[in-house]
Structure 1
């Protein structure tokens, strides 16, 4: 029986290996963008006997997910690349994730904001290949504290 995650990967032409399923499920569970360092701690163990993935396989899988637009990389101004699941509803006509991100200056987490940005701001003869809009402030969780 094929799981929902397997169907998602297969729909993008990605073979659902055990490692790919683990990485995708991990990112799906996160409510914020995850840094490469955070993911390495989970998927790349320090010793051979506890190894879950080698570094090359791990990076290759992230790159495949990014190329197939399952995930997107976020530059939130901290100098650390972060990754999040892409939302089909936030995609523009060129396949670009057209939404803003929010970086909390208190907890350091970056989240995708749900509203899609209109492509009407550009003339027709322009093509968007990348978009990175980051709002900075205090998130709702930190505001409650």
Structure 2
């Protein structure tokens, strides 16, 4: 028996097996990330919420982070808040946010997507609000159709 060749073959087989397993794992991770991105990236866009008279109440922009996590920036009046959306399904998620000018002013909201996926509703969870401001209401946001040079955030 040729021990050096046997040892070299076993070592080469082990190294190749390890590399194949690492590459396969990386491929599965990449594929799963793409599936998750495709599942939630339809939300990435700019939105507006309006008062009953048609005036703009607030403006929002949503960005994809990873997996089921999205970032939202909302401007209303002269204030801005940022939050992280954790989508539980493709129709429902939770949003935790904080105001930029007052980081202790935080809260949580439910996000419910409408069936046509061009709008969503934010529903405040009043037990988690720390704001001493006026009462928060649910708010409906609709996707904007902007020209390339238009932007508000």
When normalised by structure 2's length, the TM-score is 0.28
Greater share of residues in helix: 1
Greater share of residues in strand: 2
Structure possessing the higher relative contact order (Cα contacts under 8 Å, 6 or more residues apart): 1
When normalised by structure 1's length, the TM-score is 0.29
Question: Which of the two has higher C-alpha Rg?
Answer: 2
